[in-house]
A and B are shown apart, each in its own frame.
Chain A
């Protein structure tokens, strides 16, 4: 007989409540500020209970459950706090699946609560019944079905603990409607651990010493950092380690903004559309130090020709990532913050100026061949790169930039400069088009004092544009920039390069985006000419409230450099 392990504190006062009210009180206990959600039959008792607590917790009614979960992701990514989502059973629950998969692969903490048909109807193909537990299993870190009201506080406590501890991830709790209605004795106790789960393996000092020995002896050491640095809030520890050892550091797109772009030892972006030097020199370094990153195939290219010459040190919280794609010589398990602090202590002060110069040489080649023409194009049409760079300069690199998926995403990661951490929000591992608009809304709610810019392709915008309605209703001052190339640009680029320019189903006949925004009550404008760009961008930022700016860009520009799929990182192409 399974039950949720509920810790009852002896002597703590309880109160009699409905399960639904217990859900809301438990969320409040976990300092929930926002719930992103969408009501329906099976979750109505919870929405009814919520009605009595609108002072303590704000519900954001999105226009689609996918919008709700992406908004919660955006919120989680700027705050490092769990995003909370409500959805009803059946279609409400299935609409969460894309967001769960996205949050799972990008390690984003979420607590999703779905309503379910009453216990007595489970398995009867009742109206709006789906087996959301089975459906969501591979895309959640943990999930649980509650059928008894007394299990609610324990399940929610466990959900928050699992979502936020160790390598974070999404969790889902499915609550039958009868359990929401029924009464229970409520008391809440936060979960602080349970037997089968070791979220943070303790750092083994012997491993630190072995890693330090390799690093101290290295001639061409090289750091690759990922989102693990942001998730463990190890930005300072990373900077200390990098500065003390003088080792050049490159980032994955999930790690972008963990270290200021202009830091002298920040050598740039890894992966398929990353910078030239960081990719090339991966195959020349002698010690590779990977921090909180998982050697995704978009980062490594062909694994059989990836950093074969290097000794590999991997700082990682998740044991399953060790040796998954790249064989390590020293694996340091544990939280990046702790591992980096200890590693910096054990490493010698050093510099590697000749090695760093190699990056600079490659950077110059890339500038001459790619970057100059992207930032100062001779063509009449605007390039994505110049638009991003101008927006970035006009916000002084302080804004949170949320991107969708495609060319504009790669260009933004390449050309936006960041000063603050948690400023680059994108769908990295899953590459989910439609992520940006709702995620930007969530990000704005989580970081009200910061400028939040949503950079979206004309394709991806049309996947979740209904969330303009939510942006209007909440008046969240998101600045939306559509980079309109009238194509599914990234797919078109592949067709051009690898499919003989056969543009099969990638051209878009678009609607009038300005009219759409205005129809949702959001001010908007479109800009085509270089001369008008600054003015249009300034108007957008000066506008009090949400704003949409459509920027017409070159139709058939390509993103370079590029490591073609299947190629090795040192076969990166500049054209």
Chain B
């Protein structure tokens, strides 16, 4: 049975590496549901968060293929109940179409959303949460004349102790050892 997996990949910061990683998904006809990349807490190391809807076996295999890429440091994969995850969504409303501020505030409160910025003619609303929640607010804001909407890819942290920093330390000692041999 297909299910949602979050694949977290730590990589060296290299041009084209994202391309190399995503082409592994293309080759296997796996659709990427969401993708987030940015520098991680370790200087010079990037973190990709890839969400896919796939079979477990196929997911485990692609994780190994990802890890095989020479500039990928480590890849992990998680089921939804193994991580704490979130997305951020922004909504743009036209102020001139807003007749009932009170009603809007009720909707925002019920959805735990905030007014991020007022930009003259527009109002930007921000909500973080799971996709279902950001989508709910999207539906709720429709009657107010939604003028723009964007949702980010997922970011996630595992619920357990992360083994990555130990792994990184091991790798660094390991590669120092090889370098000093010659």
Contacts and interface: CB of A to CB of B under 8 A. Distances in A.
A137 interface: yes
Interface SS of chain A: helix, strand, loop or mixed? Answer: loop
Given A142-B70, A324-B61, A196 B179 contact: no
B15 A2 contact: yes
Interface residues of A, number: 25
Interface stretch (B86-94, B101-109, B120-128, B167-175): B167-175
B68 A193 contact: no
Nearest to A319: B64
A318 B68 contact: yes
A197 B179 CA distance: 13
A192 B64 contact: no
A137 B179 CA distance: 27
A190 interface: yes
B83 interface: no
A134 B22 CA distance: 12
A192 B179 contact: yes
A354 interface: no
Given A137-B23, A195-B172, A2 B178 contact: no
Given A137-B23, A162-B70, A194 B14 contact: no
Contacts of A493: none
Interface string B69-90: 0111100000000000000000
A3 to B, nearest CB: 10
B175 A137 contact: no
B73 A196 contact: yes
Contact of A196 (B20, B64, B71, B181): B71
A458 B60 CA distance: 44
A192 B27 contact: no
Nearest to B57: A323
Interface of A: 2, 7, 133-134, 137-138, 141-143, 145, 162, 190, 192-198, 318-320, 322-324
29 contacts: A2-B13, A2-B15, A7-B179, A133-B16, A134-B16, A137-B20, A137-B23, A138-B24, A138-B27, A141-B70, A142-B70, A145-B16, A162-B70, A192-B181, A192-B182, A195-B73, A195-B168, A195-B175, A196-B11, A196-B73, A197-B70, A197-B71, A198-B171, A198-B174, A318-B68, A319-B67, A323-B61, A324-B61, A324-B64
- Report, nearest first, the 10 A-B pairs whose CB atoms are least far apart: A193-B178, A320-B64, A192-B182, A196-B73, A197-B70, A320-B68, A193-B175, A195-B175, A142-B70, A138-B23
